[in-house]
Amino acid sequence: MNIVAEAATQKVSKFDWGFNWYASQGANFGIKHEGVSPVQLGKFWVFFNHAATASQTVGTEFAYDWATKKVGAKVGVWQKFNDATQGKFKLDNEGKVDAVLKHKYNDTVTASLATGFQLKGIVAENKSKSFPIGLAFDFKF
């Protein structure tokens, strides 16, 4: 549980709680709520992920925003290719695809390559667009 209160206004500005249950080895089920008040309902998440193998995890997430009545869903896969390289791929209910590839060169440098695009735009316009690509380096000293 996480509660944030503003000292000047003496009002709660954030109220979060969550619950995780490790049903079996490698299987995780959770519920999370984020809101701005202990008495108002905010956004709920229900998620499940399963470490299918030592090098692959699959997961799902379902969300409901009480204020906007918006429903969301995601499915994702994490893959460990070797000790230095891993990747993630996510697809949501609105057709947004996100992918990231990380490679650890040594104990000091890790590189990440990320992209994301909207499938709806490709299907609706019947043509592909250039994909945004991000490159990041993490240096540990």
- pLDDT-derived band of residue 42, with 50, 70 and 90 as boundaries? confident
Please give the backbone phi and psi of residue 140, each rounded to the nearest 5 degrees, phi first.
-110, 130
Is 90 exceeded by the pLDDT of residue 30? yes
- Judged by DSSP in three states, 119 sits in helix
The fraction of the chain above a pLDDT of 70, given in percent, is: 91
Q: What is the pLDDT of residues 65-121, one digit of tens each?
A: 988 999 999 999 999 999 999 999 999 999 899 999 999 999 999 999 999 988 876
Q: What is the pTM of this model?
A: 0.72
Q: What is the Cβ-side half-sphere exposure of residue 12, based on CA atoms within 13 angstroms? A: 12
